[in-house]
Structure 1
Amino acid sequence: MPVAPIVPDVPGNYPSCRFAVAPMLDLTDRHCRYFLRQLTRRAVLYTEMVTTGALLYGKGDYLAYDDAEHPVALQLGGSEPDALARCARMAEQRGYDEINLNVGCPSDRVQNGRFGACLMAEPQRVAQCVAAMRAVASIPVTVKTRIGIDDQDSYAFLCEFIGTVAEQGGCDTFIIHARKAWLSGLSPKENREIPPLDYDRVYRLKRDFPGLRLAINGGIKTLEQAGGHLQRLDGVMIGREAYQNPSMLARVDSRLFGATDPYDSLVDVAAAMLPYIESQLSRGASLGHITRHMLGLFQGRPGARQWRRHLSENAHKPGADISVVERALANVAANRLAEDAPVSQRFSDNLS
């Protein structure tokens, strides 16, 4: 299936919601986002969900990121308008391009904090939260949600939620995970797989709310599938597939934005990470904390197993340094990837 018609962004403008990599807890940290940015310059990258409590009262710097990550969005977890407004102000001051409210996570811990997917049952509260953030921040405030929760899964329920948050909260962009969430009985992983996908419901929502920007999430594994959704919707968000098989992102810019892809080869992508890794190691970062996000780079290609094995076995050893990545990359080069052969050979020669 051909991808949707291209509408190139004006350089320097925020690229709205056309394509994004989903926020994923324990995965999309700052090292992951820097790596993904080597594959695509145009996709919006999302932080892991950060709770208002962590930002306001935690000791760590939960807003840290590298300027190279732009466009980057902060996903917030919370349900108190005042606390969310304070966090939104902090996010804008730190230079984030978007603030996203999590109304989709079904985990018990999130529910106990009274935020995430359970907030679908309180559309007026969500509207108040969005309005409070929009009142103090000029950057976009968006909502990521499901199509329903538990037995509240009718189309009328979804329309009431979207309509209330849009009209009373002023939200004009929603990212819809096209599954409902079971708030009890299913783990977060099962909630990503067991409830059936209902893309048609999201398409219908766009027909009934044509003035809103709607992006779709859930079960999307290829750019061809993304292009099909973009024929009907404003945006697509991909999560686990982009993390496990990041090479799919290497053609996002050309195929979905009509722009030039950052690198011609996956070996170039890996090599581009070396200065960043050296810089982070000099600041005390662990090599394994960075390279764990890179394990799937060559997924499905010659040399992928050697790449994963070498990094997995060596990156967490005491004193592991940049040479671990260089040797893993040399192993890939030795396999002479067909699409990367010239670059691989040059890089291999440089290592010898």
Structure 2
Amino acid sequence: MNDRERLITGDDQEEEEDDEEEAGRRYGGHGSFRRLLESNGVCKWVEDLGLKRAAVTNAPRSNPELLISMLKLQDFFEVILTLKGPLRPIVLSIKGSNQPQICYILPSSLVCGISTTKSRKLYTYNQKHQRLSNFTMGVEQYLPPWFSVAPMMEWTDNHYRTMARLISKHAWLYTEMLAAETIVYQEKNLDRFLGFSPDQHPVVLQIGGSNLENLAKATQLASSYGYDEINLNCGCPSPKVAGHGCFGVSLMLDPEFVAEAMNVIAANTDVPVSVKCRIGVDDRDSYNELCDFIYKVSSQSPTRHFIIHSRKALLNGISPADNRKIPPLKYEYYYALLRDFPDLRFTINGGINSIDEARAAQNEGAHGVMVGRAAYNNSWALLGNVDTTIYGAPPSGLTRRQVLEKYQVYADSVVGIYGNNKPSLRDLVKPLYGLFWGEHGNGVWKRKADSAFHHCKTFKSLMEETIMAIPDSVLDSPVVDPYSTTCIDKFASSKNLLPPPYTVKEEEEEQLLYA
């Protein structure tokens, strides 16, 4: 028995076994993690060149040593390299060496890296083979993000997401954008901004900001809440955000900074990271400029998922609402990205207002579909069909009365919890306005609710006073599949308009190889 074994007794032994079990669960099991590494083909390529397999990390050396031990990969990695600063997902330059490093980011900053002077071959290999991080996209216990609800300021708050999850079990839900500064400055009041029920998974936190220190701190603070992905807002055109705030869509003008920001975010979380952006800004709206942004961010950071709002943004003072209407939709840009970046994952967003349109986009090859205000304004018809139409689940038979009964338990448990009547009954009822969209009695119910806000103290009492405005036939009917035989060709036709394939500029390629 060695010294380490002598020190482990009783509870310590059980704790170590629990840690190893957790590592095995988190990374898909000891054997499957090794198979994941070997299945990519990079290991054989390394061996053919006579190179060494290395674990590369910017964490303390003890971290990868412990993780490698837990995963039983001591014989797999021949060397551990520790670096300072953020890890680059393609190329690393080790101080004192002229040899570029190619690496593949894995969870907890453990990466499989190789060293060679054949830089051209490194670049060619990276372009032709999927990165290992693709295999770790998303959280394994949930279905993929084939459908998601867009982050919307003052809309997709905790109350809406609670209600939405009661309707759809599989849709991915995004928080409203939270500025990194808000999270940092509200460190003692984080539950109000970041807290959510475990039943809400899968849920993505969207943050905004342009200060690297605050982005790092905000991500670190949010990590303890268990979000399934961290998303950086690079698409908001609001003058307060993209103008005075110098973030949102204005970040698209500086892809190198976005890559650096994504490295900082990824270094402070162990879940996937993603970017939500537009297809361009003002006159910087060519397909090649969009590709330059995607290429630089994905090749200089661990970002493998991009949500593409298929309109450009106009920063000439028009309102965010007009920015959702005036710039034309160019779905052909989205589908061209699928062609030109096969190793990345793209979600389409913008102008999709029904489950039929979401299905049509998916049928044309979209990796994922994100819907915004339609999922709020007509939540029952849209979210109620996500699980069956998009994910293939059997009908649940869920009714709106059942949703209200479950939501009532939540609402009455949180009303006024933060003091000063926050959240108020009005805040808690707001997400329900889309539950009866287009139904008989909806207008009467809203007027009754508006009156009841003045004297009702609980959600239950408010509903008892107002719900009779909605007919029982509406409350007790399960969702109806709105499937139409009408062909929706808005996406199919856009595939006939694809721009020419994107080609990486020679100078950009060289810059990345020797960054």
Relative to the length of structure 1, the TM-score reads 0.88
What SS does the corresponding residue of 1:258 show, helix, strand or coil? coil
> Quick check: 1:237 aligned with 2:370?
yes
State the shift of 1:240 in Å: 0.6
* Structure 2 equivalent of residue 102 of structure 1: 233
Q: Which amino acid is the alignment partner of residue 366 of structure 2?
A: L
Q: Which amino acid is the alignment partner of residue 451 of structure 2?
A: E
* Structure 2 equivalent of residue 287 of structure 1: 425
Specify which of 57, 67, 74 is matched with residue 185 of structure 2.
57
- State the Cα deviation string for residues 80-110 of structure 1 (Å, max 9, x = none): 2332122222222111111000000011111
Q: Which amino acid is the alignment partner of residue 143 of structure 1?
A: V
State the shift of 1:27 in Å: 1.0
Alignment check: 8 A CA contact 2:442 2:469 kept: no
> Quick check: 1:205 aligned with 2:329?
no
Alignment check: 8 A CA contact 2:400 2:475 kept: no
Alignment check: 8 A CA contact 1:47 1:72 kept: yes
Q: 1:48 to 1:11 in 2, by over 3 A?
A: closer
Q: Which amino acid is the alignment partner of residue 96 of structure 1?
A: Y
- Whole-angstrom CA distance in 1 between matches of 2:139 and 2:236: 33
- State the Cα deviation string for residues 151-186 of structure 1 (Å, max 9, x = none): 000001000000111100121000000000001231
Q: Give the alignment's Cα RMSD to 1 decimal.
A: 2.1
- State the Cα deviation string for residues 8-64 of structure 1 (Å, max 9, x = none): xx9962334211111100111111111111111111111111111111113642212
What SS does the corresponding residue of 2:246 show, helix, strand or coil? coil
Q: 1:12 to 1:262 in 2, by over 3 A?
A: farther
1:157-306 pair list within 5 angstroms: 157-231=289-363, 232-247=365-380, 248-260=382-394, 263-281=397-415, 283=417, 285-306=423-444
* Structure 1 equivalent of residue 463 of structure 2: 325
What SS does the corresponding residue of 2:471 show, helix, strand or coil? helix
- Whole-angstrom CA distance in 2 between matches of 1:133 and 1:217: 23
Alignment check: 8 A CA contact 2:241 2:248 kept: yes
* Structure 1 equivalent of residue 14 of structure 2: none
Unaligned runs of 5+ in 1: 1-9, 342-352
Q: Aligned pairs, how many?
A: 331
> Quick check: 1:69 aligned with 2:206?
no
Structure 1, 92-101 or 279-288: larger mean CA deviation: 279-288
Unaligned runs of 5+ in 2: 1-137, 479-515
Q: 1:65 to 1:169 in 2, by over 3 A?
A: same
- Whole-angstrom CA distance in 2 between matches of 1:100 and 1:338: 36
- State the Cα deviation string for residues 249-282 of structure 1 (Å, max 9, x = none): 0111111112245552222222221111221237
Alignment check: 8 A CA contact 1:38 1:262 kept: no
State the shift of 1:327 in Å: 3.2
* Structure 2 equivalent of residue 337 of structure 1: 474
- Whole-angstrom CA distance in 2 between matches of 1:317 and 1:102: 39
- State the Cα deviation string for residues 113-135 of structure 1 (Å, max 9, x = none): 21100000000000001111112
State the shift of 1:321 in Å: 4.2
Relative to the length of structure 2, the TM-score reads 0.61
What SS does the corresponding residue of 2:143 show, helix, strand or coil? coil
Alignment check: 8 A CA contact 1:178 1:217 kept: yes
* Structure 2 equivalent of residue 34 of structure 1: 162
Q: Which amino acid is the alignment partner of residue 444 of structure 2?
A: Q
Alignment check: 8 A CA contact 2:308 2:346 kept: yes
What SS does the corresponding residue of 1:109 show, helix, strand or coil? helix
Q: Which amino acid is the alignment partner of residue 434 of structure 2?
A: G
Q: 1:95 to 1:261 in 2, by over 3 A?
A: farther
Structure 1, 190-199 or 279-288: larger mean CA deviation: 279-288
- Whole-angstrom CA distance in 2 between matches of 1:240 and 1:20: 12
- Whole-angstrom CA distance in 2 between matches of 1:305 and 1:71: 33
Q: 1:15 to 1:131 in 2, by over 3 A?
A: farther
* Structure 2 equivalent of residue 86 of structure 1: 217
* Structure 2 equivalent of residue 127 of structure 1: 259
State the shift of 1:303 in Å: 2.5
**Structure with larger Rg:** 2
Q: Which amino acid is the alignment partner of residue 442 of structure 2?
A: A
- Whole-angstrom CA distance in 1 between matches of 2:166 and 2:283: 42
Alignment check: 8 A CA contact 2:415 2:458 kept: no
Alignment check: 8 A CA contact 1:40 1:261 kept: no
Q: 1:260 to 1:190 in 2, by over 3 A?
A: same
Q: 1:263 to 1:38 in 2, by over 3 A?
A: farther
- Whole-angstrom CA distance in 2 between matches of 1:37 and 1:243: 12
Alignment check: 8 A CA contact 1:91 1:99 kept: no
Percent identity of the aligned residues? 40
* Structure 2 equivalent of residue 113 of structure 1: 245
| More relative contact order, 1 or 2 (CA 8 Å, 6+ apart) | 1
Structure 1, 261-270 or 209-218: larger mean CA deviation: 261-270
